């Protein structure tokens, strides 16, 4: 019996020791295991401006009012008429290959990426001068108050990183991650930059898997199957279908990150082809501003997630439309405008000079864009206008729009800061894949130039106020709702946040639970 008890105690001791060792091994494995964050993205990594911010830092940051703040450019001096800037760079910042970010590479990034990203300052640039290893002087042909804000779009790249066609060929940056592996349109692997200069970064991510999933439904399925940890975080716009947002935020398995609704960067709108056809008549365009019930659109189509908006730019910002009254839903006002302009009804059909008003609405195949088109069709029917929906694949839709073969189409007419929009759409009247430029008349063009070349803040504000007044009077687009972003993740990580620079992906505080 004593022998049996002794054997039993030995077995218990062995089990106990084995258990302790197992726990210790588990703890060691947990500590040595790599922390990998898997993100679901729409775009190939090397084609993504957002992805670029993971491997290299922006020259300036942005605050909640979209003012430029310190970045790799630590500070700057500007002369009285804003024609000359002296940029003082952070010192001893290294690219991943060990070479220094200096005035020469800063100059190269400003000149090269400024062209690629269609920055306004490029056409105003006169000379650049390397004053010191970390001091760069920029001189413009005319005043340019908006220059620091535009530098939010520029990241640091070594000299020679961009080929003659504007393609980035060298992804050697200064950022918190380095590009390690890459398969075009499939996946990229980024590894932590152990020598990253910013010691305030608290993230424990060691690897980022950038997984390309172009189809929105497939991205949601990838999140649900744990193929990815987060979606909606790698784009500078709202990229998750609203129907999916609703189902995911109501599921306890997932957590959401929402961009501040007061800090939206764009407005979803209907672009009107004011260059030809029925919509060349400003009276018709002006009436249409009051026909679409924005509240009803958001409630019935978009699950009350976005904010209805009758402004074409957020009036909150110093370059916003804060002195112009927003467009409001008012059917009777619309009918009054049409009647004064000579439009008549025959058997509930709106006509001008005997011709029935019929408009072609070109949209792509995305469900949400088609839903907007159907809603607009039903709203315009209330005042006797027939809308023919032309639903096309994305590339075909872009081609139709670029050829001017449309009357209505979805548009994002303005971005914050305003200076970025002026450079993106231009102050001309040409068609692009996004619709018409902003220069509907000489007045708008002139006021836009005032904004670009303002010598001081008072001139800038005067130009902005005139630009918005003229743009609202011209009625080039019908604002619908604000476009802030949602991201959904599976809860394995904490610390996600949207940066005010809408091109920047911020993992600085993301940690594994």
For the stretch 240-277, pLDDT in tens is: 999 899 999 999 999 999 988 767 667 899 999 999 99
The mean pLDDT of 29-43, rounded to a whole number, is 82
The predicted pLDDT at position 30 comes to 45
Res. 14: pLDDT tops 50: no
CB 377 within 8 A of CB 387: yes
Average pLDDT, the chain: 91
How far apart CA 468 and CA 110 sit, in angstroms, is: 29
The predicted pLDDT at position 444 comes to 94
Other Cβ atoms less than 10 A from the Cβ of 325: the count is 9
The predicted pLDDT at position 265 comes to 67
How far apart CA 407 and CA 456 sit, in angstroms, is: 39
The predicted pLDDT at position 6 comes to 47
How far apart CA 42 and CA 373 sit, in angstroms, is: 23
pLDDT band at 151 (very low <50, low <70, confident <90, very high): very high
| Cα–Cα distance list, 297 to 239, 292, 329, 409, 433 (Å) | 19, 8, 11, 16, 25
Res. 412: pLDDT tops 60: yes
For the stretch 463-509, pLDDT in tens is: 999 999 999 999 999 999 987 899 999 999 999 999 999 899 999 99
Quick one: DSSP state of residue 168?
Answer: B
pLDDT band at 16 (very low <50, low <70, confident <90, very high): very low
The runs of H, that is alpha helices, within 250-403 are: 282-288, 294-301, 331-340, 367-381, 394-402
The mean pLDDT of 360-365, rounded to a whole number, is 94
Res. 11: pLDDT tops 60: no
User: Does residue 216 share a domain with residue 287?
Assistant: no
The predicted pLDDT at position 32 comes to 52
For the stretch 165-206, pLDDT in tens is: 889 999 999 999 999 999 999 999 999 999 999 988 889 999
The mean pLDDT of 349-359, rounded to a whole number, is 96
How many separate domains does the chain show?
Answer: 3
The mean pLDDT of 81-109, rounded to a whole number, is 97
The mean pLDDT of 100-107, rounded to a whole number, is 98
How far apart CA 142 and CA 462 sit, in angstroms, is: 17
Asked, for residue 415, whether it belongs to a domain, the answer is yes
The mean pLDDT of 283-311, rounded to a whole number, is 95
Where is pLDDT greater, at 15 or 165?
A: 165
How far apart CA 205 and CA 176 sit, in angstroms, is: 10
User: Does residue 327 share a domain with residue 239?
Assistant: no
The predicted pLDDT at position 118 comes to 87
CB 89 within 8 A of CB 72: yes
User: Does residue 508 share a domain with residue 433?
Assistant: no
Res. 26: pLDDT tops 70: no
Please state, for a pLDDT cut of 90, what percent of the chain lies above it. Answer: 77
| Cα–Cα distance list, 407 to 202, 228, 292, 493 (Å) | 51, 40, 16, 46
Instruction: Give the CATH number, domain containing residue 280.
Output: 3.10.105.10
Instruction: Give the CATH number, domain containing residue 218.
Output: 3.40.190.10
User: Does residue 317 share a domain with residue 232?
Assistant: no
List of residues 6+ apart from 197 with CB closer than 8 A: 90, 92, 93, 94, 174
SS3 at position 187: strand
User: Does residue 315 share a domain with residue 231?
Assistant: no
User: Does residue 330 share a domain with residue 463?
Assistant: yes
The mean pLDDT of 419-433, rounded to a whole number, is 82
User: Does residue 498 share a domain with residue 478?
Assistant: no
Lowest mean pLDDT, pick from 182-186, 234-238, 353-357: 234-238
The mean pLDDT of 8-21, rounded to a whole number, is 44
Domain boundary among 90, 118, 153: 153
Lowest mean pLDDT, pick from 292-296, 343-347, 349-353, 411-415: 411-415
CB 153 within 8 A of CB 164: no
Q: What is the pTM assigned to this prediction? A: 0.88
How far apart CA 144 and CA 84 sit, in angstroms, is: 8
Asked, for residue 206, whether it belongs to a domain, the answer is yes
User: Does residue 354 share a domain with residue 464?
Assistant: yes
The predicted pLDDT at position 24 comes to 46
pLDDT band at 398 (very low <50, low <70, confident <90, very high): very high
Angle separating helix axes 442-452 and 457-474, nearest 10 degrees? 160
Asked, for residue 14, whether it belongs to a domain, the answer is no
Res. 392: pLDDT tops 90: yes
Q: Which of 24, 17, 33 is nearest to 512 (CA)?
A: 33
Place of tokens 């011709």: 355
Please state, for a pLDDT cut of 70, what percent of the chain lies above it. Answer: 93
pLDDT band at 7 (very low <50, low <70, confident <90, very high): very low
Domain hosting residue 191, numbered range: 39-48+175-259+485-512
């Amino acid at each position: 019996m004593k022998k049996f008890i002794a054997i039993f105690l030995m077995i218990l001791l062995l089990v106990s020791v084995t258990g302790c060792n197992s726990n210790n091994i588990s703890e060691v494995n947990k500590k040595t295991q790599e922390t990998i964050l898997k993100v679901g993205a729409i775009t190939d990594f090397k084609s993504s401006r957002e992805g670029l911010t993971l491997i290299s830092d922006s020259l300036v940051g942005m605050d909640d009012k979209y003012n430029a703040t310190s970045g790799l450019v630590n500070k700057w001096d500007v002369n009285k008429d804003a024609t000359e800037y002296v940029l003082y760079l952070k010192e001893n910042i290294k690219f991943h290959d060990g070479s220094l970010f200096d005035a020469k590479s800063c100059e190269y990034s400003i000149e090269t990426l400024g062209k690629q990203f269609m920055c306004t300052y490029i056409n105003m640039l006169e000379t650049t001068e390397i004053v010191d290893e970390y001091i760069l002087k920029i001189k413009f042909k005319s005043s340019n108050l908006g220059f620091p804000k535009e530098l939010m779009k520029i990241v640091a790249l070594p000299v020679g990183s961009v080929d003659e066609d504007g393609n980035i060929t060298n992804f050697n940056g200064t950022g918190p991650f380095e590009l390690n592996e890459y398969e075009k349109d499939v996946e990229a692997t980024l590894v932590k930059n152990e020598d990253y200069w910013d010691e305030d970064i608290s993230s424990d991510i060691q690897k980022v898997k950038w997984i390309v999933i172009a189809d929105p439904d497939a991205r949601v399925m990838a999140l649900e199957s744990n193929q990815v940890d987060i979606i909606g975080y790698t784009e500078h716009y709202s990229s998750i279908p609203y129907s999916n947002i609703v189902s995911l935020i109501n599921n306890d398995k997932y957590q959401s990150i929402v961009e501040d609704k007061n800090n939206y960067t764009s407005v979803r709108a209907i672009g009107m082809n004011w260059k030809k056809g029925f919509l060349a008549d400003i009276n018709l365009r002006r009436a249409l501003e009051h026909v679409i019930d924005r509240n009803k659109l958001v409630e019935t189509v978009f699950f009350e997630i976005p904010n209805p908006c009758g402004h074409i730019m957020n009036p909150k910002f110093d370059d916003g439309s804060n002195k112009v009254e927003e467009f409001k839903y008012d059917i009777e006002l619309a009918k009054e405008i049409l009647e004064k302009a000579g439009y008549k009804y025959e058997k509930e059909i709106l006509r001008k000079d005997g011709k029935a008003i019929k408009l072609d609405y070109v949209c792509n195949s995305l469900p949400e864009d088609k839903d907007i088109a159907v809603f607009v069709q039903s709203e315009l029917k209330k005042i006797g206008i027939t809308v023919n929906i032309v639903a096309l694949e994305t590339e075909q839709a872009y081609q139709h729009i670029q050829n001017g073969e449309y009357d209505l189409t979805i548009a994002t007419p303005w971005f914050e800061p305003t200076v970025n929009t002026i450079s993106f759409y231009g102050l001309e009247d040409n068609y692009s894949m996004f619709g018409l430029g902003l220069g509907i008349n000489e007045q708008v063009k002139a006021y836009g130039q005032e904004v670009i070349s303002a010598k001081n803040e008072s001139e800038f504000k005067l130009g902005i106020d005139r630009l918005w007044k003229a743009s609202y009077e011209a009625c080039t687009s019908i604002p619908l709702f604000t476009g802030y972003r949602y991201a959904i993740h599976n809860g394995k990580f904490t610390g996600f946040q949207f940066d005010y620079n809408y091109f920047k992906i911020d993992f600085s505080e993301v940690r594994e639970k």
